[in-house]
């Protein structure tokens, strides 16, 4: 079994991934920003090189000092990042520091210490592409990313590829597609499913942009496939990871109305949303082949369970 650090391990995806890795017998340490009482928890900021360096080195028994270039971990899952296109516009300083500088810090330490790493990208890197999204699209087609968040994620991928070419680092890149489910707290910058459910439960209006299509991925399906990378690591590969339900945003709204019981009049329909990809139809053949990717949770069941969780959290 491996010793693994998950940066951003307290986040919506990191929480499930850490639990899945632990269940498989790996020694999992979480690295994140909040104060947290966990036994295998290291508080730190990926944007601070010293903090990240201290976390990654083999420390003494008090876990306060390091000596020599000895890595504590066999592998790092690098989830720590600022998420969301409008978050990236409103808080671009924080976003670029976490996403670009934080990733560069980890790569510098990976070059020095030699651990393997999994770097997290996004479906947003496909930008304005309107065909089926296969991993080689960005190698074949000039793509314009439509917002700073998307740009930052494509920058991250290029940072990873350059490090592999220049220093021989062994990394895998993953592009996540519209992950949702219980455990995702509401904010105006979260996933569309999370935002719709929160608004519906609180009697708040929400906007549905017509014509957008997505391939959403339930959180447990995502975590299972991500954990499989630890057992099926192919350096240099990049994977799309998505669910099997290709749906419209209108369909999501209908399911949210059904399972929350909200007033349908809360939904405001309008035309296409600017500065975001219209259609995200994806192929996951590589993840199925290499990572045993096998989504089990339907959009109907996933939204229903997410509604139940959010209702319990927000007492609505």
CATH number at residue 8: 3.40.50.720
Q: What is the pLDDT of residue 292?
A: 98
pLDDT in tens, 227-285: 999 999 999 999 999 999 899 999 999 999 999 999 999 999 998 888 778 899 999 99
pLDDT for res 161: 98
- What pLDDT sits at residue 59? 56
What local confidence, expressed as pLDDT, does residue 316 receive? 63
Count of domains forming the chain: 1
Q: Minimal CA–CA distance to 41: which of 51, 28, 60?
A: 28
pLDDT score, position 88: 86
Domain around 255: 3-314
Q: How far apart are CA 213 and CA 151, in angstroms?
A: 21
DSSP the chain: --EEEEETTTSHHHHHHHHHHHHTT-EEEEEESS----TTEEE--TT-HHHHHHHHEEE-TTSS-EEEEEES-SEEEE------HHHHHHTHHHHHIIIIIHHHHHHHHHHHH--EEEEEEEGGGGTT--S-B-TTHHHHS-----SHHHHHHHHHHHHHHHHHHHH---EEEEEE--EE-TT----TTS-HHHHHHHHHHTT--EEEETT-EEEEEEHHHHHHHHHHTTTS--TT-EEEE--SEEEEHHHHHHHHHHHH---GGGEEEESPPTTS-SB--B--HHHHHHH-------HHHHHHHHHHHHHHHHT-
Residue among 121, 125, 153 at smallest CA distance from 138: 125
- Two tokens, residue 24: 């498989």
Alpha-carbon span 66 to 166, nearest angstrom:
27
| Tens-place pLDDT, residues 130-151 | 999 999 999 999 999 999 999 9
Nearest to 79 by CA among 123, 30, 19: 30
Cβ–Cβ under 8 Å, residues 32 and 80: yes
Question: pLDDT under 70 in the chain at which residues?
Answer: 58-68, 316
Would you say 243 and 186 are in contact if contact means Cβ atoms under 8 Å apart?
no
């Amino acid at each position: 079994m491996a010793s693994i650090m998950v940066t951003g391990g307290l986040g919506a995806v990191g929480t499930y991934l850490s639990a899945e890795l632990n269940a498989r017998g790996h020694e999992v340490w979480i690295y994140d920003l909040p104060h947290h009482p966990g036994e295998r928890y290291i508080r730190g900021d990926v944007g601070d090189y010293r903090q990240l360096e201290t976390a990654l080195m083999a420390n003494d028994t008090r876990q306060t000092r390091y000596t020599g270039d000895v890595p504590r971990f066999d592998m790092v899952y690098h989830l720590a990042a600022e998420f969301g296109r409008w978050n990236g516009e409103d808080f671009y300083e924080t976003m670029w520091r976490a996403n670009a500088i934080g990733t560069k810090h980890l790569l510098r330490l990976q070059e020095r210490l030699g651990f393997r790493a999994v770097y997290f990208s996004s479906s947003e890197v496909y930008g304005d592409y309107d065909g089926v999204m296969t991993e080689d699209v960005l190698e074949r087609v000039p793509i314009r990313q439509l917002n700073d968040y998307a740009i930052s994620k494509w920058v991250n991928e290029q940072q990873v590829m350059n490090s592999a070419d220049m220093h021989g680092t062994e990394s895998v890149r993953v592009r996540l597609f519209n992950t949702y489910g219980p455990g995702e707290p509401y904010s105006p910058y979260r996933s569309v499913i999370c935002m719709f459910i929160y608004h519906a439960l609180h009697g708040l209006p929400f906007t549905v942009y017509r014509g957008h299509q997505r391939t959403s991925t339930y959180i447990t399906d995502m975590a299972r496939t991500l954990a499989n990378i630890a057992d099926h690591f192919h350096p240099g590969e990049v994977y799309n990871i998505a669910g099997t339900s290709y749906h419209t945003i209108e369909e999501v709204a209908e399911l949210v109305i059904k399972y929350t019981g909200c007033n349908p009049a809360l939904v405001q329909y309008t035309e296409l949303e600017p500065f975001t990809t219209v259609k995200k139809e994806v192929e996951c053949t590589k993840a199925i082949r290499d990572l045993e990717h096998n989504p089990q949770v339907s959009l109907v069941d996933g939204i229903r369970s997410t509604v139940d969780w959010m209702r319990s959290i927000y007492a609505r």
